[in-house]
Structures are given as C-alpha cells and as structure tokens.
Amino acid sequence: MTAELVKTNQVTVTIDGIQVSVPADTLVIRAAEEIGVQIPRFCDHPLLAPAGACRQCLVDIPDAGNGRGFPKPQASCTLPVAEGMVVNTQATSPVADKAQQGVMEFLLINHPLDCPVCDKGGECPLQNQAMSNGQGESRFAESGGVKRVFPKPINLAPQVLLDRERCIVCQRCTRFADEIAGDPFIALVERGAQQQIGIAEGVEFLSYFSGNTIQICPVGALTSAAYRFRSRPFDLVSSASIADHDACGSAIRVDHRRGKVMRRMAGDDRDVNEEWITDKDRFAFVSTRLDDRLTHPQVRDTETGELRAASWPEAFAVAARGLAAAKKKVGLLPGGRLTAEDAYAWSKFARVTVRTNNIDFRARPLGADHGAEEAAFLASTVVLGAPGAGAVTYADLETASAVLLAGLEPEDEAGTIFLRLRKANRATGARVFAISAVGTRGLAKVDGTLLPTVPGAEAAALAAVASNSDVALDSHSVILVGERLAVVPGALAAAVELARSTGARLAWVPRRAGDRGAVETGCLPTLLPGGRPVADAMARVDLAEAWGVDAVTGKDGLSGSQILDALRDGDLNALVVGGVDPADVLPSGGVDKKLRKALKKAFVISLEVRSSEFTELADVVFPVAPASDKAGTFINWEGRVRSFPKVLDHPSSLPDVRVLAGIAEERGRSIGVRTPEQAWAEIVKVGPWSGERAGFEAPASAAAPQPAAGQLVLASWKQLLDDGRGQDGDEHLRASVRPPVALVSAGTLTSLGLTAGDEVELAGPLGRLRLPVAVGEVAEGVVWAPASAPGASVRHQVGPAGSAVTLVGGTK
C-alpha cells in the first residue's frame, strides 16, 4: 500500500538520455544530480526557496512532458520535473552549454579579477564554475575591460563585510535573512548594473545568524571581518566538530592552520542544525588563546603563600593530600561545559575517590529550594531520554502542531531550536506560545503568541494553559522548558502536569553544551551515572558492582548553591571546581569577602582552561583542555550523542578525565579510566539504569512574589551575545552585542511619566544601573533588561531575575 503510494508520486524524466525516477515537484537541477550531472549554479540552495536569480543553470528542454519543447533554455533551479520531460544539460546539449557560457560571460563583466586578495579564492563557486562552464575569453575585454567599482568594503554588521563589486546578485544572503533567520535587514537596492546588496541608512544587519550569509555567498562578496586575509583554503585543515556554546549540538567544521583555529563554519547535519549555526558558534573561538590561558599546573607555596609552577606529578600529589585531609567534606562544582566523558570522570571521582554526593554541574542561580525541584525533574523526566527512545527531536519540532515555551527564549538560548521553530511556523503554520514576561523579536519572528506572565508566576501560568482554549495542546504538541524555570517553585511540576493532562511531549533545554551530558553521567547530588537514583539502594549496588567498588554512598549530597553556602559557613573543607565562571554562581558577580576568606581557608582544586577568580584562590591549579583540544561527546538537549574528535594537539593541557585520574591514583582510589575513549567505553559498559525511575513529587508551589506599590518585577535573561568569557577576544563579535535597554509596556511607561529613549535608573537589591528605556510587548508591572551586556551587567548591578526593582526617570 505504502509502496504503491510512493510509486504514484514518482515522475520519470529523461536527462541527457538517461531515464530517472524522482519524486514529483523535484527541481530539474536536483533530478540531474541523481544521475551525476552537476549543473552549474549560484543562487540555488537546497534550503532556500527557488529564485532563478543568477540564470547560470540554463538547460535545454526539447520536450516538457507534453510533447512540446521550450523554445529557449530554461533555468533548471526553478523548474519542477514533469512526467516524460526530456532535459539536455551542458553535458550533451551545445545549446545549454552555449547559454551557460554566455551567462558566465555576463556575470564576469563587472566581477573584479582580484582573486589573489579575495578570501573566497580557492573555494569559490564562481572561480570553479568559470573554469568548468565558462569560456576563456570575454568579449567585454575589447572595450578596455573597465569594470564597475565601488569603495570597499562596507560593514553590513560589525562581523560581516560586503565587497559590492564582487556581488553577482544571486540573493542567497537576502533570501537567508528573510526566509531562515527572519531578520530582513539586507535587501537589494538600486537598479541595473548598480544593483547591490544594501542596508537601510544606519540600520545594521544585526542578526544572530548573520555569519551564515558569509558561508553561503557563492562569491567573495560577503566576508568575515575576523577571518579577512587571515589564511587561504589550502592552508587549512578542516575537522568536523560540535558547537560548544549551547545545548543544541550543532555540527560545525573547524578550520585550523598550524595549531591555530582560523575560522568555524556550519557543518551539514539535516537532523540537527541543517546548515546553519549562530554567530556565537561561528565566531566565538578566540578566547582559549588569550593570555590568561593556563599552561602549566600550579600549587600554592606553603612558605610564600603564592601560586608557583609545579610539575604534574607534584600537583597530583598535593591535590591528593589536600583531599585526604578534607575527608568527605568536599564539594565538587564541575560546571556545565564539560564533555560527557569528562562529566563522567567528575561523577565517578566524587563517588569513588572522594566518596560524596556533593556534586552539582549547575553553575547558575538555583532558587530558594537550591535546585531540588529541578534535580527531581531531571531525574524523573529528562535523564535517559534520547531520539529513538521517545524524546522530543528537532524533527518533532518541525512537525509539531503547537509548541509551548516556558522559561526559554530560543533565539537567545538555543539558536538552532529557534530556526526550527521558524521553519515549522513558515511551513505548516505551527503555533508557538511563550510563557514569558516579554514578547521578544525572536517570538515575533516565529509568529508566536505571548502569554504574558510576571516572573515568578510561571507555575500558575502553566497550570492555566490547560484551560486556555486558544492554546490547544495535543499529543503532537511539544512543551519546551528552559533552565530558568528552576528558580520558580512549582513551575517544572506544573509543566509535567500540563504534559500529562494534554498528552503533549516535554523537553528540557539547558543553556550550556555540557549540561545534558552532566545529567546523563550523574553530576547531580541525587543522580548517579546512567540515571541511577542515589536514593535507590538497588541502583547503588548495581553501580558499585559495575565499578568494582565496595559501595557507593547513599548519603544526601549538597547542590551547587548549598556547596557554596556550606563553604561560607565552614562546613566543607575542600572544593574541587571546574569550568565555573564566578560571575554565574555568585550573585554579586565576584567572590564576596566571606567566601574569599572561606576559600582561602579551605583546600581548593581548580581545573580550568583560563585563569578565573576561583583559580586565583585555589591551592592547586590544573590547566585543562578546551573542547578543541580533546576528543569528546556533547549530549544535546534532545539526548542525541554528538561525538567529536580532537582538533588541535596542545600538550600543555589535559582533559579533565586525565587530571582527575591522576589525583585519584595518587589518592589510592583510582577512577579506572584515563582517557576520553576509556571513559566513553565505561559509560557504555555501565549503561542506563533499567530499574525504577525516581519519582517526581510536585512541591508546594509558592505564590508569586507581589512587588510593593511603585515597584516592578525584573524579567531578565542572558542574550546570545553578551559579556560572557567565551566570547572574549573577538572585537567584531562583541561589537554586535545588542545595546542594553530597559523594556517596559506602554502602560507602565506612561504611569511612570517617562518617554521612550529616556535614560532611567534601574534600582534593585544589588544596586542601580542607568539604561535607556524602550517600549515593548511586556507584561504589566514588569521591566525587562538583559542579564549581562558589556559594561551593563544587570544581574550583578541590579539583581537576579524576579527581583523587585524600581525605575526612576533621570535626565538624558
């Protein structure tokens, strides 16, 4: 039955004398690829709508399927196949070949011959196809070869440069901006030979996906400001890798030269990121070669009290001695940027070497319950989910009837999800709803509906969705919850309940690349590797057997914020800290006096790529490898395993697993694995827990905090590009950070007696900050501001999201 259905949709055409059956509506240019004939093209892109802009793909069609031929050559990239159609490409038809050579001659009238200084030279479709499908001579050279010139280059965005004379007006970039990213800030301007890509006066191409236009430009018209003139394609060694800035698991290609990454390009993975990545994934890779990169182990000298360089064996010995002295009063903060292998090593190190459950990968605010609800949610609902095992996938987002977002702003926090939601919305009209305080531009681009919610009231809002007839969730719908819901009591429970009552599927989308892998490998106080609950004695025995140890402790562990509190109070004697940015875990953005005193007293082991405030307070410092210098696996929000090989060889930094193995062996309690490969083999061997999963009891949901009269509630999250340390070193990328504003509703603005554009003072529990005010689709009684931006860190200078703040107008 199915086979017959498929068969009826097949169309048989004859291309260059070869019969081929392809699905109906296939474009001729793709049908020709099926028989191995490559028709030259520039504007055609499989993920963009057909345009027929460049005319390079002309073919001769003697029979259009109805017995009559087209009198002139046709563009094969816009023409769907028809039953019985006969197509002759340049391979067999002199007509098509002559037409293509003519088009190429036209395209090259004004294209400069500056290939030696053009970044695209060597990987340029125009260069290649001018050789394969062009003629050697141009008739336009007789007039002196005078070409149209423009002053060059101009910035479309801080990180994207445009050389207008090289442009062949194929419109791939404008179509990408319009169709895929939804940021139509670039367009064709002028007419005739002067036609060019342009931006509106003073309005830059500020898109989080602008870098993709550089990659799909078939000539060298769009180039990257950071990569410009840096190297040539034949210098570069390309390694496939996985993006390490968010939990999307996007495939990337890392191009490096002599041990230095020169650029990152989007990889091609239809199941995940298609061919697109965010600008952060593309440009933010310089930070690991800044001066503050740690290059050798250090230990604190007992006499001078200063850090001094040490050998690896000495540092292992000192670390092991310190841990032995601290007994079990140790906290471990591995951070959320680890590969699954490294996270597994941390998890096993905590259980086998230190024998504690005080481990938490969550380096972020955890709310009043210290993340207990989120941990229970992860243990019961999220862990062990994977594509093929019932978990939500990108493909499910594309076919979902409706998507509900809670505590998640996809454009800022998971760019690939944003692009899929936009694709789904454009293709099927799938509706997107957001439980949020702000109707962002990202939400507008997916044609989403805001369910205005004051921060803190998300639990009630989720509960109310069930009775909201407008939001029709069914078994084809998806609920995506972000990690920001952790700070709202009862919100995750409400999401689980909503999914249960409506049949919609639920997925958790964290912000960092290693978050999900850390859940799977048990970097939580309540969870052991493979989803084994700590509270389940059977699971502990199972794991102890797999590990060959006597027992795995079942004692309650401390969560991330509890570990820091315990350190402050002197209840813990030692801290092992990984890639944790102090700015993320400490409300004021830096180590406060009391914690500094406690950390100086406690024994601190730091495993870091770059020097941080924790490193400076540590007793032993180990340099560890960034994702580019080690093989590993990220597990993305779907639960999809995304392995990547080592890109660069950097002998001075080892993966976390090797460092922890060294300390553990010195301590006499080996973790049994030394390399990422061994760790992965053991993860597979230990396997997932087949016994009973941890339950999830809904905690009492607290009422949303009511701000006092005259106060507003602060809504806030980190935008994609901010002042994060991972983006350090690329001034072009940093220049494209959206300028921070305080966003309020029109009603709130009037009631405060302000006008848009005024500079206002935002005052909260931590202090005050001056920002310009703007009007947006914001819930009443709420002010939104980005959590962090260069020079304006709302989360440290004003307060965390959910704080009560005041907005006072000032002079301009």
Partner 1 sequence: MGTLKEQFWDPVAGFGVTFRTMFRKVVTEQYPFEKLPTAPRFHGRHQLNRWPDGLEKCVGCELCAWACPADAIYVEGDTNTEDERFSPGERYGRVYQINYLRCILCGLCIEACPTRALTMTNEYELADTTRESLIYEKSDLLAPLLPGMELPPHPMLLGADEGDYFRGNFRPSQADESAEEH
Q: Select the residue interacting with partner 1 from 52, 80, 121, 554 (CB under 8 A).
A: 121
Q: Where are the alpha helices (DSSP H) in 159-202?
A: 172-175
The residue type of 768 is R
Q: How far is the CB of 235 from partner 1 (least distance, A)?
A: 7
Q: Applying CB under 8 A, does 148 fall inside the site for partner 1?
A: no
Region binding partner 1 by CB under 8 A among candidate stretches 74-82, 114-122, 479-487, 527-535:
114-122
Structural contact between residues 619 and 603, judged by C-beta atoms closer than 8 angstroms: yes
Q: Applying CB under 8 A, does 289 fall inside the site for partner 1?
A: no
* Chain-centroid distance, C-alpha 690: 31
Q: How far is the CB of 122 from partner 1 (least distance, A)?
A: 8
Q: Select the residue interacting with partner 1 from 38, 231, 239, 678 (CB under 8 A).
A: 231
DSSP string, 750-788: HHTT--TT-EEEEEETTEEEEEEEEE-EE-TTEEE--S-
Burial class (CB in 10 A: 0-12, 13-18, 19+), 31: buried
Region binding partner 1 by CB under 8 A among candidate stretches 59-67, 117-125, 198-206, 730-738:
117-125
Q: Select the residue interacting with partner 1 from 230, 293, 321, 596 (CB under 8 A).
A: 230
Structural contact between residues 540 and 554, judged by C-beta atoms closer than 8 angstroms: yes
DSSP string, 569-618: HT--SEEEE-S--HHHHSTTSS--HHHHHHHHHSEEEEEESB--HHHHH-
Region binding partner 1 by CB under 8 A among candidate stretches 115-123, 242-250, 609-617, 628-636:
115-123
Closer of 118 and 528 to partner 1 (Cβ):
118
Q: Select the residue interacting with partner 1 from 102, 122, 772, 809 (CB under 8 A).
A: 122
Region binding partner 1 by CB under 8 A among candidate stretches 79-87, 224-232, 359-367, 744-752:
224-232
Region binding partner 1 by CB under 8 A among candidate stretches 15-23, 222-230, 263-271, 795-803:
222-230
Q: Applying CB under 8 A, does 116 fall inside the site for partner 1?
A: yes
Q: Applying CB under 8 A, does 296 fall inside the site for partner 1?
A: no
| Neighbour count for residue 770 (Cβ, 10 Å) | 13
Structural contact between residues 467 and 451, judged by C-beta atoms closer than 8 angstroms: no
Secondary element (H or E) of residue 653: none
Q: Applying CB under 8 A, does 449 fall inside the site for partner 1?
A: no
Q: How far is the CB of 119 from partner 1 (least distance, A)?
A: 9
Q: Applying CB under 8 A, does 232 fall inside the site for partner 1?
A: yes
Q: How far is the CB of 115 from partner 1 (least distance, A)?
A: 8
How many chain residues touch partner 1 (CB under 8 A)? Answer: 14
Q: Select the residue interacting with partner 1 from 83, 123, 235, 692 (CB under 8 A).
A: 235
Handedness of CA 355, 604, 519, 508 (dihedral sign): positive
Closer of 16 and 163 to partner 1 (Cβ):
163
Q: How far is the CB of 282 from partner 1 (least distance, A)?
A: 20
Near partner 1 in 149-168, by CB under 8 A:
149, 152-153
Q: Applying CB under 8 A, does 355 fall inside the site for partner 1?
A: no
Q: How far is the CB of 232 from partner 1 (least distance, A)?
A: 5
Q: Applying CB under 8 A, does 84 fall inside the site for partner 1?
A: no
Burial class (CB in 10 A: 0-12, 13-18, 19+), 207: buried
Q: How far is the CB of 161 from partner 1 (least distance, A)?
A: 10
Closer of 227 and 346 to partner 1 (Cβ):
227
CA atoms within 13 A on the CB side of 793: 14
Question: Which residues lie closer than 8 Å to 36 by C-beta, 6 or more apart?
Answer: none
Closer of 12 and 231 to partner 1 (Cβ):
231
Secondary element (H or E) of residue 633: strand 632-635
Closer of 225 and 326 to partner 1 (Cβ):
225
Q: Applying CB under 8 A, does 141 fall inside the site for partner 1?
A: no
The residue type of 575 is L
Closer of 161 and 787 to partner 1 (Cβ):
161
- Please give the DSSP secondary-structure letter assigned to residue 619: S
Rg (CA), the chain: 29
* Chain-centroid distance, C-alpha 532: 28
Distance CA 647, CA 86 (A): 47
Distance CA 712, CA 163 (A): 47
Secondary element (H or E) of residue 544: helix 537-547
Residues found near partner 1 in the complex (CB under 8 A): 116-117, 121-122, 149, 152-153, 228-232, 234-235
